[in-house]
């Protein structure tokens, strides 16, 4: 794994997190307890900060980035990811806010200034365009992503199940590393 400081700012990674050796993490990045970052993911907190909550998985080939601060946009767009979030393979998250217990389906892109509330599913290959708000309890799909339907109780429960499944998997990887 490559964890690089930038401007004397280094990533803060909880000791219980799993970071695959084939990841790149740069700059102002915090990764919470029991989270996992899988192969070929890139997390660049180089021009703003990235915060990843607990029990969140960033799956293979995902790219997480931010937008710089400027006269046009004094705060820029940081990337904030909540707890128990499952980020599918090849996802791009850029300068957005993701709530708790969210699934971002494989191949999806979530752009600047998007807010995703708690308990949302974003279908695979969806494009969430800048400035959108995805409200709690719904499935969103398409390019651009649109609200499709209310989540079932089973789907809401599966959000926690998926997050816990990745915590279990990362524990297996960590146990093997420590043998």
Q: What is the DSSP string of 147-163?
A: EEEEPPHHHHHHHHHHH
Instruction: Residue 138: give the domain boundaries.
Output: 2-177
Burial (CB < 10 A; 0-12, 13-18, 19+), residue 133, is exposed
Residue range 7-17, pLDDT digits in tens:
889 999 999 99
pTM of the model: 0.96
| d(C-alpha 105, C-alpha 140), whole Å | 10
Q: What is the pLDDT of residue 1?
A: 62
Q: How many structural domains are present in the chain?
A: 1
Peptide bond between residue 144 and the one before it cis (omega within 30 degrees of 0): yes
What's 55's domain CATH number? Answer: 2.160.10.10
CB 49 within 8 A of CB 25: no
Q: What is the pLDDT of residue 136?
A: 98
Query: What is the per-residue pLDDT across 129-163, written as a single tens digit (0 to 9) for each?
Result: 999 999 999 999 999 999 999 999 999 999 999 99
- Kindly report, residue by residue over 90-123, the tens digit of the pLDDT: 999 999 999 999 999 999 999 999 999 999 999 9
């Amino acid at each position: 794994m490559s964890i690089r400081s930038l401007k004397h700012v280094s990533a803060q990674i909880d000791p219980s997190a799993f970071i695959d050796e084939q990841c790149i993490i740069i700059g102002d990045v915090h990764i919470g307890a029991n989270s996992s970052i899988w192969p070929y993911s890139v997390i660049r907190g180089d021009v703003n900060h990235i915060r990843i909550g607990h029990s969140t998985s960033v799956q293979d080939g995902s790219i997480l980035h931010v937008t710089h601060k400027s006269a046009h946009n004094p705060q820029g767009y940081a990337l904030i990811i909540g707890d128990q979030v499952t980020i599918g393979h090849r996802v791009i998250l850029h300068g957005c806010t993701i709530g708790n217990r969210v699934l971002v389906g494989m191949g999806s892109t979530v752009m600047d200034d998007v807010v995703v509330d708690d308990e949302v599913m974003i279908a695979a290959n969806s494009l969430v365009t800048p400035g959108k708000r995805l409200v709690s309890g719904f499935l969103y799909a398409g390019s651009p992503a649109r609200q499709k339907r209310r989540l079932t109780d089973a789907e809401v429960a599966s959000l926690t199940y998926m997050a816990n499944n990745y915590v279990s998997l990362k524990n297996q990887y960590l146990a093997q590393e420590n043998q």
